[in-house]
Structure 1
């Protein structure tokens, strides 16, 4: 709401344009003296008073309070919906251009909720293109704009920030952000179902990457229980996609596949390209775990092609690491090495977990080719990356691989050091993204 003087001037101008006296404008709810005081800017009108006067003047409350025609805010909200659809069906770069224009419009009009929505869109675009630092800044800016709003309104921004940290390999901090927000929601009594599903679904990934499968399963159980109260089908689909990971970690392959099928059906209906590609990615992973390597290759290639067409650089590169593992297991070492080398040329900007996984796979390929020296180099590089990220399941497996390699080479003491490094971490079968419970507070039950 503008300052009283600006509102008073606006009321006076509109009243004069319509040929009304102060008495005609005021009655039957107010007095002419009140209208006179308001027009002089000596009193701040209540929302009730302004809504009454707006109706008398044939305008909107928003225009009277802010000077903005109501249709501008409506048009901006519709344009933001279109931008969201463009991100879902087009490319992130094109959607980002649109979100930037809409952010500038929202800032010019002083529309804070619309500014936050545009920033959330820019954050999602940056996640797709792999600009994780930019993504974090956008989500943080949206969170600041919504600082005075109830916590459920900030859930998407917090989830986005956590995902940016997760993709950068900062697993423990991602868990901290999500767990502390869930705790705060519970303590405040603002247990909004949609906000909780957003947060529970988001925390499953880092829990599994850290080997905290019991926590992941509990989060999945809570998300599934809340799903019937959620009206956004895309959110429900994303929840099913994450829940599939917990089923797979428990060895429930059929349940994982069924959960992915539910997500895939929703994404196809909504034409959500990136999310549909993630379903192909996850199904490829499920099939690889089942030993169905040809089918896994097909699904992963479909995911890669869809993501590449959308110029989703971060996710494309990460799928290629998964695909390289399948190609290695099929005996196609040259193809796998080419994919992994191209990935590593980018540095670890696509996440320490996947960079560590790429070095681990190159180490396995070198071992299978009889090149122990190169294998050791890759294992040591992978060890440093995974220690930094906290992906302990992968780290334990890597220590076993390095220890076995050193032992076979007669370097017993060095092998023992490698084995000791892996002690205390569960060694889990799986892929580059599997991987000990965070040191944060125990997961809350609601």
Structure 2
């Protein structure tokens, strides 16, 4: 057989490399180094590797990085070395993408089981390997996992960074593929007390999905469910109810049971606000059953948390305390510090209502050092509100006023109109009882302003409803 010459021959290698770009020269050096390493590992001479199609001199020139091999030459060398063409050309191990996707699945399982630190380490390892080998398709999934771990541990700035990077990497992907990153960013802003911006992110994504015709049920269900929380905190109860109705209509078309469970948990908030506590408990029971089947312990803990709130609303304080303590223990075992603190605010309310004000006050005092304007603002305001009530019960009007004012500042900063009106009533009543009638009237007027049209001064038009067909929801037909 005639051995190949031309640009695959040693005689013209120098001329060929002179014509190559700097990137080609870097590729040639990297490929040459890989060929040299693999040849030595397999105990082959240059002649044995080259035969029968090429010369030993050509292999020597290639290993020196002085020529970038052609595709036929690479395929020949890969076959002789017992590796894939892609592995030799790029240095990327065979089946790496499959291995990384399996590793990501395992990392999600570890996160679901409650070991956030181990899960974060696994996601970080997957991200590092994907970056080193240029697997851009795998990197967003690893970043989303890291973002979820950061949310669990209350590191909100880090969570936003991970979600933003994931979204940047997916900039060329269809919008449904970017929905998880958008939702993650919105949740991070919500937990930081930036309710308006959380709503903006979610509503913008929903509108773009509907305008583009990309009516992906999973993506829309994820976004509508995520919007319910900030709507409720802002006092936009009608908009939250509409989002809940649309989410319920989308659920039958969803393919991810975890999304459906999350939807039931979110919808329960709107039912609680409407006084439909029995229906809320049914919705949470559905979510809990799905989470148990999926072994998603963090989400299961949040179901216990919300069921505790439902029982508290219904006046079943003993059951409420039991559910909240279960939620707190589950979240604490996961080192989910921010969520644990938020559950403790709800637990303190139940303890106060059960007459255990000292225990409630100690719990609230300790957690206020950990949450505040940049981290759990709405729940920090709730803690100050409860401490104000406890101070009033003890006859300490000055301390009560200080706590109410702190709570008011936090809620105004967050835009949480849903709680502002109630707090203004408490503060106004206190001011009136202490003889400051004009100041009380000003506070009442502020509260009435928030009660009159909750959410309408801070939110734009509601996002359009997706086309759900003839069997769609009433909200979809009204939109």
TM-score, normalization by structure 2:
0.80
1:440 corresponds to 2:460: yes
RMSD: 3.0
**Structure 1, residues 87-129: CA drift from partner, whole Å, max 9, x if none?**
1103212211221122111111111122111111111011011
Question: Partner of 1:316 in structure 2?
Answer: 340
Separation in structure 1 between the aligned mates of residue 314 and residue 399 of structure 2, nearest angstrom:
30
Measured against aligned partners, the alpha-carbon deviations of 1:16-59 in whole angstroms (never above 9, x if no partner) come to 9697879xxxxxxxxxxxxxxxxx989999xxxx99xx99x998
Distance between the aligned counterparts of 1:251 and 1:18, measured in 2? 80
- Compute the displacement of 1:424 (Å): 1.8
Structure 1 residues 198 and 347: alpha-carbon distance in aligned structure 2, compared to 1, 3 A threshold: closer
**2:15: which partner in 1?**
none
**Deviation by residue 1:252-296 (Cα, 9 ceiling, x = unmatched):** 222211111111011111211111100000000011111111100
Match of 1:33 in 2: none
Equivalence map 1:166-185=2 (5 Å): 166-185=190-209
Distance in structure 1 (CA, Å) of the matches to 2:276 and 2:50? 71
In structure 1, the residue matched to 2:148 is 124
Whether the 8 Å contact between 1:79 and 1:102 is mirrored in structure 2 is yes
1:217 to 223, 232, 241: 241
| Residue 77 of structure 1, CA deviation | 1.0
* Number of positions where the alignment pairs a residue of Structure 1 with one of Structure 2: 414
**1:62, CA displacement in angstroms?**
5.4
Instruction: Provide the C-alpha distance between the structure 2 equivalents of 1:44 and 1:379, rounded to a whole number of angstroms.
Output: 73
Q: In 1, distance between residues paired with 2:52 and 2:212?
A: 49
Deviation of 1:67 (Å): 4.7
255 and 85 in structure 1: CA distance in 2 versus 1, 3 angstrom threshold: same
Using the alignment, how far apart are the partners of 2:396 and 2:146 within structure 1? 45
User: 1:62 and 1:261 mapped to 2: Cα distance?
Assistant: 50
Shift of 1:245: 1.0
Match of 2:106 among 76, 82, 97: 82
Aligned partner of residue 440 in structure 1, secondary structure: coil
Deviations 1:377-434 (A, max 9, x none): 1101111111000111211111110100111111111111111121222299xxxxxx
- Once the two structures are superposed, the pairs formed by residues 421-440 of structure 1 within 5 Å of their partners are 421-426=446-451, 436-437=455-456, 438-440=458-460
Aligned pairs (5 A) from 1:369-408 = 369-408=394-433
The answer for the alignment partner of 1:208 in structure 2 is 232
The 3 A distance-change label for structure 1 pair 230 and 19 is farther
Give the one of 124, 137, 147 matched to 2:171.
147
Runs of 4+ in 1 over 4 A off after TM superposition: 3-7, 16-22, 40-45, 57-67
| Residues 396 and 427, structure 1, Cα contact 8 Å, conserved in 2 | no
The answer for the alignment partner of 2:362 in structure 1 is: 338
Question: Unaligned regions of 5+ residues in structure 2, if any?
Answer: 1-22, 39-47, 55-66, 467-479
C-alpha distance in structure 2 between counterparts of 1:17 and 1:251, whole Å:
78
Which residue in 2 is equivalent to 1:70? 94
| Aligned equivalents of 1:340, 1:356: Cα separation in 2 | 11
Q: 1 CA distance for matches of 2:328 and 2:284?
A: 17
Give the equivalent residue in structure 1 for 2:387.
362
Q: Tell me whether 1:91 sits opposite 2:86 in the alignment.
A: no
Query: Counterparts in 2 of 1:189-268, with a 5 A limit?
Result: 189-268=213-292
Contact conserved, 2:108 with 2:145, CA < 8 A, in 1?
yes
Map of 1:412 onto structure 2: 437
In structure 2, the CA distance between the partners of 1:19 and 1:280, relative to structure 1 (3 Å rule), is farther
Task: Judge conservation of contact 1:91–1:310 (CA < 8 Å) in 2.
Answer: yes
Q: 1:159 aligns with which of 171, 175, 183?
A: 183
Match of 1:29 in 2: none
The gaps in structure 1 that reach 5 residues or longer are: 23-39, 429-434
Kept in 2: contact 1:318–1:350 (CA 8 A): no
C-alpha deviation, 1:70, in angstroms: 3.4
Residue 189 of structure 1, CA deviation:
1.4
CA distance in 2, matches of 1:215, 1:109: 46
Q: Is the 8 A contact 2:204 2:463 kept in 1?
A: no
Instruction: Give CA deviations for 1:236-261 in whole Å, capped at 9, x if unaligned.
Output: 11111111111222222222111111
2: distance between equivalents of 1:139 and 1:309?
Answer: 25
Which protein shows a greater Rg?
Answer: 2
In structure 1, how many angstroms separate the alpha carbons of the residues matched to 2:364 and 2:300? 24
Tell whether the 8 Å contact from 1:394 to 1:427 is kept in structure 2 after alignment. Answer: no
Distance 1:187 1:244 in 2: 29
